[in-house]
Amino acid sequence: MNKTSTSLAVFGAYLIGMGAGLVFVPNTLLGMLNMPPTNEIWIHVLGVVALVLAYYYILAARANLRVFASWTVQARIVVFLFFTGFVLAGWVGPILIALGAVDLIGALWTGWALRKEN
């Protein structure tokens, strides 16, 4: 597996952890993120979405889909910007910037790997 595919696979693994946490133990995960617990279905739905994204990331890594990898760089940077904006707007605590930083670091890793492999 090349560096680009490895970066996608690692991010896919992160998404599996996040998705599984949101589906099966959402309030534990929310508590770790200093967010209020919920009994609403939306948190489980979000977990399923994360698991589906993990599936895409892992399959793209296995197939060495460089075009997919390049799309994720921009998208994950946007996630970081939105999460930071939510914190600056006062909608959520600063822990969300840390979650966004995972996306940003992953995006930078993938972008670096893409350039290195060209």
The stretch 54-68 carries a mean pLDDT of 98
Residue 55 lies in a domain: yes
- Tens of pLDDT, residue by residue over 88-109, are 999 999 999 999 999 999 999 9
Q: What pTM, to 2 d.p., does this model score?
A: 0.93
Residue 80 lies in a domain: yes
Say yes or no to pLDDT of 6 above 90: yes
The structural domain count of the chain equals: 1
What's the domain range around 36? Answer: 3-111
Residue 117 lies in a domain: no
Per-residue DSSP letters for 69-109? Answer: HHHHHHHHHHHHHHHHHHHHTTSS-THHHHHHHHHHHHHHH
- According to the model, what pLDDT value does residue 118 have? 84
Q: What is the DSSP letter of 40?
A: S
The CA-CA-CA angle for residues 85, 38, 92, to 5°, reads: 15
- Tens of pLDDT, residue by residue over 14-57, are 999 999 999 999 999 999 988 899 999 999 999 999 999 999 99
Say yes or no to pLDDT of 8 above 90: yes
Residue 116 lies in a domain: no
**Banded model confidence at residue 1, pLDDT cuts 50, 70, 90:** confident
Residue 101 lies in a domain: yes
